[in-house]
Amino acid sequence: MMDIRQLRYFVAIVEQGSFSRAASFLRVAQPALSLHVRNVEADLGTPLLIRTPRGVEPTEAGAILLRHARIIMDQFTVAEEEIRGHHDDPAGEVRLGVPGTIGQILAVPLITAVRLRYPKIKLRIAEAMSGFILEWMREERVDLAVLYGQADEHGIHTERLLEEDLRFFGPVRKIGEEIVPAPGGAISFAQVAQMPLILPGKGHGLRDLLNRHAEMMQVDLNTIIDVDSYGNIKSLVTEGLGYSILPENAIAAEVAQGRLRRWPIESPAISRSIHLASSASRPLTNAVSVVLGLARETLLDLTRQGHWIGARIVGPDPESPPAEEPQCPPSRKAM
């Protein structure tokens, strides 16, 4: 079976007009060139070169091979140049799936970064609940995803980047004879479970997380209203219909404006992990690879700079300065 190297050798022999000049041009031993030509002739079942007083010339079959070999080599060169250029300046469409709450934080800075660094990449961001986004990953409808929780399944690689704190919150005015800590105090999960709660419906990632905690603590959640929209949950709580649990960042603006009160949850504290997901079953294109890196960088930067309230980086921060080694005090000489 011929390969590109044999074609390159054959073209060089014809263009140089002799095996010796071709060997010098290619920096290959002449016997090796002769062996390659004999192997190709054996594969094709016909002579390809003939020696004449003017040097080595192609036979009729050799001329046919020469024509095709030059086309193949030109295409190979174009492919190499295009691939190298594509690596240096990635292009194409990249599809990213994110939950709506993360999209509100991530979309604008990430799109801006992609446009500035890789103008030939078209980034499409689709928003949905984590469960739907995971399904999109399985069906290859998105190339990358940001997920709440890890996708423990074959074909999807997830990288845990952040932890996001959840907070219990309520209206400014008390609801009935409520018993809650003073502002700044924490509330136990067991006490939270007894309050009239407005939560996302079953099947929603946040509701499933809270149900798991309730089961672990052997308590029942006193859910009075099921509604998936964070905006509707906050509006209902603001109107005094109940309390809820949402990520710190989702309620930060309303708390700062004095429209909601919020309390940290303890015994246990509740947080959820944020993962960056990519395909583990197929190679990533250059465009997808660079967007993956930019998404990681942007998520970490948003957290470092305090734009993602209530989030913290998991593990050592790659941009944190290394801790200084403790210095031993100078030893004293015995008096």
- Residue 22, class by beta-carbon neighbours within 10 Å (0-12 exposed, 13-18 middle, 19+ buried)? buried
- Give the distance between the most distant pair of CA atoms in the chain: 111
Residues 218 and 286 in one domain: no
Structural domain harbouring 215: 166-272
Do residues 14 and 49 lie in contact, with contact meaning Cβ atoms separated by under 8 Å?
yes
Joined together, the tokens standing for residue 194 give 């007894």
This prediction has a pTM of 0.69
Is residue 327 included in any domain, yes or no? no
N-term to C-term CA, the chain: 85
Is residue 304 included in any domain, yes or no? yes
Q: Which of 73, 88, 103 is the last residue of a domain?
A: 88
Sequence length of the chain is: 335
Residues 120 and 253 in one domain: no
Is residue 332 included in any domain, yes or no? no
Q: Which of 70, 88, 106 is the last residue of a domain?
A: 88
Is residue 98 included in any domain, yes or no? yes
Residues 156 and 298 in one domain: yes
Q: Residue 1's pLDDT is what?
A: 73
Q: What CATH number corresponds to the domain at position 28?
A: 1.10.10.10
Q: What CATH number corresponds to the domain at position 101?
A: 3.40.190.10
Residues 61 and 124 in one domain: no
Beta bridge partners of 51: 56
> Going by C-beta distance under 8 Å and a sequence separation of 6 or more, which residues neighbour residue 50?
56, 57, 58, 59, 62
Residues 155 and 247 in one domain: no
Q: Residue 335's pLDDT is what?
A: 37
Residues 293 and 158 in one domain: yes
Residues 279 and 264 in one domain: no
Is residue 323 included in any domain, yes or no? no
Q: Which of 29, 58, 88 is the last residue of a domain?
A: 88
Residues 267 and 282 in one domain: no
Alpha helices in 186-315 (DSSP H): 189-194, 205-217, 230-238, 248-256, 286-304
Is residue 200 included in any domain, yes or no? yes
Q: Residue 282's pLDDT is what?
A: 78
Structural domains counted in the chain: 3
Is residue 330 included in any domain, yes or no? no
Per-residue pLDDT tens digits of the chain, which is 335 residues long: 788 889 999 999 998 999 999 999 999 999 988 998 999 999 999 999 999 988 999 999 999 999 898 888 877 876 765 676 666 688 889 999 999 889 999 999 999 999 999 999 999 999 988 888 988 998 888 999 999 987 777 789 999 999 999 999 999 988 877 777 766 789 999 999 999 999 999 888 899 999 999 999 999 999 999 999 999 999 999 999 999 999 999 999 999 999 999 999 998 899 999 999 998 887 788 889 999 999 999 999 999 999 999 999 997 766 655 555 555 555 444 33
Residues 47 and 18 in one domain: yes
Q: Residue 334's pLDDT is what?
A: 39
Containing 81, the helix (H) or strand (E) segment is helix 60-88
Joined together, the tokens standing for residue 33 give 């060139």
Residues 268 and 281 in one domain: no
Is residue 322 included in any domain, yes or no? no
Residues 252 and 170 in one domain: yes
Joined together, the tokens standing for residue 125 give 């961001």
Rounded CA gap, 320 and 133, in Å? 32
Q: Residue 332's pLDDT is what?
A: 46
Residues 72 and 100 in one domain: no
